Amino acid sequence: MRPLLLSAALTVFALPALADETTGTVVAYDRVSHVIVLDDRSIWTVPADFPLPEDLMAGERILIDFQSNGDNGVGKYLSITRAEG
């Protein structure tokens, strides 16, 4: 029984992190604190050295690709780009 439990536990920890994405319209972007607020009221704090679209401003639609950290939210940002449409 123990080898089965150990095998199951190792399988759970070996799962890859989940990639996710969201699209929204920028309501506000604070260049100093690196915070983006989208129209769905979600708040995204990005690392200071993370590449963002040049001259990002309110009213633009963006696509945020990130690696989810389960219930802890964003684990790692993969890209933030302008969205079509």
Q: Is the pTM of this model over 0.75?
A: no
Partnered with residue 38 across adjacent β-strands are 26
Q: Which tens digit of pLDDT belongs to each residue from 7-56?
A: 555 455 545 556 799 999 999 999 999 999 999 999 999 999 999 998 99
pLDDT greater than 60 at residue 6? no
| Separation between Cα atoms, residue 36 and residue 76, nearest integer Å | 15
Higher pLDDT, 37 or 70: 37
Q: What is the pLDDT of residue 82?
A: 96
